[in-house]
Amino acid sequence: MKVIVLRLGHRISRDHRISTHCGLVARALGADGIVYSGDPDESAIDSVRRVSEQWGGKFETKFEKSWKKAVKDYRKKGYTIVHLTMYGMPVQKTIAKIKSKGRILVVVGGEKVPWEMYHLADYNISVTSQPHSEIAALALFLDRALGGKELDKKFSGARKIVVPQECGKKVIGK
């Protein structure tokens, strides 16, 4: 399964940390890339690229001003559009259908998602019908969609690798 994340409506003045964390979570939990829309912000993209360079793996980061164009372009490429929203259908009731798709564009919004996004999505999915973090929703969705396999993923070309320990920190590499 190929998974790309679309982060809707990035605002430089408010969203740098949230958007960067969306990219980091997407990368760490098995997505193949992230597309940022909204305000152009090379620093958010560069933050995620630097992590990929240090910690390995192939992860694409790019910017598209128009979220709508990104959705339409990925649909043309055969992607199923999955919009994460607290107003959607429960993930546990829809994940089996979604897992059968070969390519998924996971749309992660912010505070004000345009109404049109709900109509463009093939699936509007919730991880809970309560207010929550879009980053948490992304993490839970990726875990369900990838069946936990992402937790054992090896990142090729890593310059740094964490050695798991019960206590303390150990990182090998430079």
- For residue 22, which amino acid is it? C
CA distance 6 to 33: 9
CA distance 88 to 154: 32
pLDDT score of 16: 64
| Percent of the chain surpassing pLDDT 70 | 95
Query: Which ranges in the chain belong to alpha helices (H)?
Result: 12-28, 42-55, 67-76, 91-99, 115-120, 134-146
Superfamily of domain covering 2-173? SPOUT methyltransferase, trefoil knot domain (3.40.1280.10)
Q: In the structure encoding, which two tokens stand for residue 92, read together?
A: 């546990």
pLDDT score of 14: 65
The domains of the chain are located at 2-173
pLDDT score of 159: 94
Chain mean pLDDT for the chain: 91
- List pLDDT tens digits, range 37-96: 887 777 778 889 999 999 999 999 999 989 999 999 999 999 999 999 999 999 999 999
- List pLDDT tens digits, range 88-107: 999 999 999 999 999 999 99
- Cα R_g (the chain), whole angstroms: 16
- Note the pTM of the prediction, 2 decimals: 0.93
CA distance 50 to 134: 23
